[in-house]
Amino acid sequence: MDDADPHIHVERSVTRYDARARNLLAGTFGRVGDLPETVDTGCGLRVPYAMTSSRPESVTCLACREHARAQHLRLAEQIERLGSMPGAALTADQAGQVADHHRDLARRFSDGG
Ligand SMILES: [Zn+2]
């Protein structure tokens, strides 16, 4: 356990474990993956999946918190853009709700634990 990392990280692609975003984006881009054993983190490490969390309150790695915050903000913008597209898989209202969800997560990641 010499190289044991005490921090909890976020997975680099925060959308993968977010079911709502995953379904939305998969419906659009056709990409859904199974959860892997190890994952790339927002701070550039590769750690067991168990050492990551999608809950802002659980993530102790500062670089990952910043990464996740940026990812959630970007995702919120992407989803709002999707909702405004003709023939979108979701209405503007639904898109707004999901975007709000991600903005809220971004806010919690910026609270510093
Ligand atoms: Zn990290």
Give 9 or 3, the one with higher predicted confidence.
9
Q: Ligand 1 centroid vs 30 CA: distance in angstroms?
A: 28
Q: Has residue 17 got a pLDDT over 90?
A: no
**Residue 60 included in any domain:** yes
Q: Ligand 1 centroid vs 65 CA: distance in angstroms?
A: 8
Q: Is 31 exposed, middle or buried (0-12, 13-18, 19+ CB in 10 A)?
A: exposed
Q: Give the count of domains, the chain.
A: 1
| pLDDT 10s digits, 48-94 | 988 999 889 999 999 999 999 999 999 999 989 988 888 887 888 98
Q: Ligand 1 centroid vs 81 CA: distance in angstroms?
A: 29
pTM: 0.76
**Residue 36 included in any domain:** yes
**Residue 49 included in any domain:** yes
Q: Ligand 1 centroid vs 87 CA: distance in angstroms?
A: 38
Does residue 43 contact residue 55 with C-beta atoms inside 8 Å? no
Q: Ligand 1 centroid vs 62 CA: distance in angstroms?
A: 7
What residue numbers bound the domain in which 94 lies?
Answer: 19-109
* pLDDT confidence of residue 2: 47
